[in-house]
Amino acid sequence: MPSWVTSASSRSWMKSLRHLVVLSSLCCFISGYSDKDRVRELMSKYPLIDGHNDLALQLRKLHNNRLSKMDLHNVSKLATDINRLQAGQVQTQMFAVYVMCGAQEKDAVRLALEQIDVVRRMCTEYQEFELVTSTQELKNYESSRKIACLISLEGGHAIDSSLPALRMFYQLGVRSMALTHTCNTPWAESSSKLYNIYQRQNDSLTNFGKAVVEEMNRLGMIVDLSHTSWETAWAALKHSKAPVIFSHSSSFSICNHERNVPDWLLQELKKKQGLIMVNLHSKFISCREEANVSHVADHFDHIKRLIGAESIGIGGDYEGAVSFPRGLEDVSKYPALILELLRRNWTDNELADVLRRNFLRVFEGVEMVRDQLNRTRPSEIQISLEEVQNQCRLVLRPPDKRGQVDRSGTSRPRQETKLLLILSIVLLLSSLLMFE
C-alpha cells in the first residue's frame, strides 16, 4: 500500500477522533454532567478508605475521653465528625490509637488501652459507625451507609517491648501498628531526633524488632512504616513476609521533610507490593505552613510516575497535624483532591485504586500471609533487660522473708542494713580521726 494512502488514512482517523472528543464534550455540556458529577459518581462507587485519623487523640485532649460531653455528628473545633466524613465519601476510617512518647517506660500500655476503649465506644455507640477487623467485613459494609472503623496503634512504644501485649492488642481489634512514633523504641529507630533515647549505631531494627514484625505477620496485623527512619523502614520491608504500608507519609522528592519517603525506598515498597498513603499535612506537602490542592496532587503525580498508581492511597492525618492545604481543610473536602487528579488525566481505574482497591489488596495480602502461618506457634521471644533499660520493669521473684519487696524488687530491710553499715563505717572513721 502506498505511503500516501496510509498517511491519508491516519489523518482521517485523527479527524474522526477529534470529532468524537468534541461530540462527547458537547454531550456532557448539554446534559450538565460535569467533572464534579464524575467525581461524585466515582466516589459513590469506590468510597474512600482513609489510612490515618487522630480523632481519638482530640477526644482525650478536649474531653478526657468523655463521649457523653460531645456529639460526634457535628464537632466545630475539629476537622472530623460524622457529617463531614459522610460528605467526604469516607467509607472506611483507620482511627489511630496514639500515645505520646513521654509515656514510654511509664504507662504507655494503659494509655493505649484507654484510647482503644474510646475508639471502640465511638464506633459502637454511634449507629453511623461499624467496628471492623477484616477485609471481608470491609467489603460487607462497602455498599452500606455505615462508616467502617479500623483501629491502628501509632507507635511501637505502646506495646512496652512485649509480644504478649502485641497479641492482646490484636485481640482488642488493632489491625495495624506503626513501629515507632517520634521516639526510638528499644528495638526500632524513629525518623525524628526529638528524643535522645535508645540511640544505636547501625542497628535500626534489632533482633527483637524483627521478632515484632514476624509476630505481626503471624497475627495478620499490618506493619506501618510511617514515622520510622529510612533504615528501619528498609529493614522491615526486607524482613516482612507480608505487604507493608506507610499510613500517612508523602514524597521526599517533592518535599524533603524527614517524615517523607525517598524514591529508593518507594521502589523497595513497590517490590513488596506495599502502599504509601499520602499525608495531607501542609509541612509534609510543601515544606511550608501553607499549601494547596495542586501541591498535594504533585506528590500523587510523582509517586505514580515512579511506582504506579497501584501503590498509592490516602492517609489524611486529620486531627494529628495542625495545618492543611487550602481546599482540604477538613475530611469533607476529599472530593476536591480527586477532582484535581481527574483534571490531571488520572483515569477512573487509577482513582478507584487510590480510593479503595489498593488498601484492600494490601490488607488481603496481610491476611493471606497470616493464613499461611496459621500453624506457627505464638512467639515466645523476650527482649533482654539490657536492651530495655527500664527501671519500672519488675523482675519476678519471691518476696524477701524479712520484709516486703518494693517496686524496684529490692527488700526494704536489705536497704536499711546497707545504710546502717555505711553509717557504722563513717562513725568508725570519725573516731579514728579524733584519736589522731
248 an active-site residue? yes
Give the pLDDT of the chain (436 residues) as one tens digit per residue.
555 444 555 555 555 545 554 455 544 444 567 999 999 999 999 999 999 999 999 999 999 999 999 999 999 999 999 999 999 999 999 999 999 999 999 999 999 999 999 999 999 999 999 999 999 999 999 888 899 999 999 999 999 999 999 999 999 999 999 999 999 999 999 999 888 889 887 779 999 999 999 999 999 999 999 999 999 999 999 999 999 999 999 999 999 999 999 999 999 999 999 999 999 999 999 999 999 999 999 999 999 999 999 999 999 999 999 999 999 999 999 999 999 999 999 999 999 999 999 999 999 999 999 999 999 999 999 999 889 887 777 777 776 665 554 444 444 444 555 666 666 666 666 665 555 5
DSSP state letter for 391: T
What is the CB neighbour count within 10 angstroms for residue 399? 11
348 an active-site residue? no
52 an active-site residue? yes
| pLDDT of res. 411 | 41
The CA distance from 19 to 195, in Å, is 63
pLDDT tens for 158-169 read 999 999 999 999
63 an active-site residue? no
Cell numbers at residue 113, please? 488501652
| pLDDT of res. 416 | 54
CATH match for 36-385 among 2.130.10.10, 3.30.365.10, 3.40.50.970, 3.20.20.140: 3.20.20.140
What is the CB neighbour count within 10 angstroms for residue 205? 24
Helix 108-125 to helix 55-63 angle, to the nearest 10 degrees? Answer: 100
Q: With DSSP H G I counted as helix, E B as strand and the rest as coil, what are the percentages for the chain, rounded to 5?
A: 50, 15, 35
| pLDDT of res. 381 | 97
Give me the catalytic one of 81, 105, 154, 214: 154
| pLDDT of res. 409 | 44
Give me the catalytic one of 160, 224, 317, 319: 317
- Counting beta carbons within 10 angstroms of the beta carbon of residue 143, is it exposed (0 to 12), middle (13 to 18) or buried (19 or more)? exposed
| pLDDT of res. 33 | 79
154 an active-site residue? yes
- Counting beta carbons within 10 angstroms of the beta carbon of residue 303, is it exposed (0 to 12), middle (13 to 18) or buried (19 or more)? buried
The CA distance from 94 to 318, in Å, is 11
Give me the catalytic one of 81, 130, 181, 340: 181
pTM of the model: 0.84
Task: Write down the domain spans for the chain.
Answer: 36-385, 399-435
Give me the catalytic one of 50, 54, 330, 353: 54
Give me the catalytic one of 227, 281, 295, 299: 227
Grouping H, G, I as helix, E, B as strand and the rest as coil, residue 359 is helix
Cell numbers at residue 384, please? 533482654
Grouping H, G, I as helix, E, B as strand and the rest as coil, residue 201 is coil
Cell numbers at residue 93, please? 476510617
160 an active-site residue? no
Euclidean distance between the first and final Cα of the chain, in Å?
Answer: 125
Give me the catalytic one of 214, 215, 248, 299: 248
The CA distance from 198 to 189, in Å, is 8
| pLDDT of res. 406 | 46
